[in-house]
Amino acid sequence: MSKTQKGKYQNKNVYLNAAFDIIKEVGVDKLTMRKVADQLDVSPMYKHFANKDELLKAVLDEFIARADILPADELPWDQWVSFVAKGMFRALQGETSWLPLLGTFDVGDNALQVTLSFVNKLMAAGFSFAQALEAYLAMIHLVIGAVTLQSTMGRGNQALLDSIAGTGSISTKQLKQTIFQDQIDIGLPLLIEALRGRVQYE
Amino acid sequence: MSKTQKGKYQNKNVYLNAAFDIIKEVGVDKLTMRKVADQLDVSPMYKHFANKDELLKAVLDEFIARADILPADELPWDQWVSFVAKGMFRALQGETSWLPLLGTFDVGDNALQVTLSFVNKLMAAGFSFAQALEAYLAMIHLVIGAVTLQSTMGRGNQALLDSIAGTGSISTKQLKQTIFQDQIDIGLPLLIEALRGRVQYE
DNA sequence: ACCTGAACACCGTTCAAGT
DNA sequence: ACCTGAACACCGTTCAAGT
């Protein structure tokens, strides 16, 4: 307890940790201000955060920091990109309830750090700034889209399987292999191929 | 009124249309069962749909049908793919509140129709079935990701601009051009480049 | 100044009761 | 058989009242 501590819960981190506990238990979508308050034995709602959105924004940025997806700097750029993309995919796959928030909040400091590292890595490999930034954005698009679809695909989706099998151009086994692989492994190789083509003719 | 009509609102479409009216006004996220009931002057809730999810699933598939994004068949495959992707992007951009649902529901009949058209088009152009299906999934990933990020980017995001400008490797004007373009125009050309490379060495 | 907890205006969903 | 609307168990947010 520092000398400047005032009130029951001056420390924002106490709230962030409580939020993480609850999210681990019930998912982001079922996080409520009341549950945070209950866990801390505090009235709804003592405000470090003006409203629920402010809390979620802070939790999201902390989530990005904890995901810790930046690889070692020695990797060649294409492996580096692949590592980051798969790391993001895995982190988000474990918490798909984050997805709806990615488009609604401005990036926080930790997200920004990832962006800058990515751009620097690709510029060191010979990409222009604009190319590097576009590569970053395209990778994010793929990750978000892949995580979004992963759950639908993973669930089986018999209707889709049946209908597609009806075209008769592929064995069911092959079809399942295509659909049930990690979605990120579909677009990511294509992205890296395209990037490789661009940097070579720089 | 058909002879088999029973009860006040036998017709599911009445509910779908009411839902669309409300969504146009307040967005998908603020659609409630009560609002649908009120608009139809019906008690909450006479059930054509077992619950809110069932209603949303039906509305989503109808939304896909209305988006009407399949282009004319005469286009070469790369333009055809680009047309579909941009059409989806535009449709979803107008209703971003749909995004959270894309990963939670199984595909409906209308979504399936789009998938099959896409796969057929690419197979006619020389792609294998697996390639065509992967191309479709990668395109969907890009569209979902692009729409998700579009709103964050469009909003300005001064923190990101400032921080990146600090790298000094690009003029602010160039930076804004990269960030503020339609997000779909970033990844889509890369995807099509990569696909072109694959079909040629088939 | 700091914190409480009742209150307000909502939700999705259920179900006894009416027609 | 069909439909109602009150009720239940929740929300986010506000704010008079207490300490």
pLDDT-based confidence at A55, cuts 50/70/90? very high
Stated in angstroms, how far is B105 CA from C5 C1'? Answer: 39
Closest C1' nucleotide to B49's CA: C13
Q: Which residue is closest to C11 in terms of CA–C1' distance?
A: B32
Asked whether the beta carbons of residue B142 and residue A147 sit closer than 8 angstroms, the reply is no
**A168 interfaces chain B, CB cutoff of 8 Å:** no
pLDDT values of chain B reduced to their tens digit, one per residue, 202 residues? 333 444 555 678 889 999 999 999 999 999 999 999 999 988 876 678 999 999 999 999 999 999 989 999 999 999 999 999 999 999 999 888 888 788 777 778 898 899 999 999 999 999 999 999 999 999 999 999 999 998 777 666 666 677 777 665 667 777 788 888 999 999 999 999 999 999 865 4
Closest C1' nucleotide to A45's CA: D13
Stated in angstroms, how far is A36 CA from D12 C1'? Answer: 13
Cβ atoms of residues A102 and B149 within 8 Å: yes
> Distance of CA B138 to CAs A73, A120, A141, A185, Å?
28, 26, 10, 9
Burial of A84 by CB count in 10 Å (0-12 exposed, 13-18 middle, 19+ buried)? buried
Stated in angstroms, how far is B30 CA from D7 C1'? Answer: 23
The pLDDT value given to residue B155: 63
Query: What is the Cα–Cα distance from A48 to A39, expressed in whole angstroms?
Result: 16
Smallest CA–CA separation between B158 and chain A, in Å? Answer: 9
Cβ atoms of residues A188 and A144 within 8 Å: no
Q: How far apart are the first and last CA of chain A?
A: 57
Q: Which residues of B touch A179 (CB under 8 A)?
A: 133
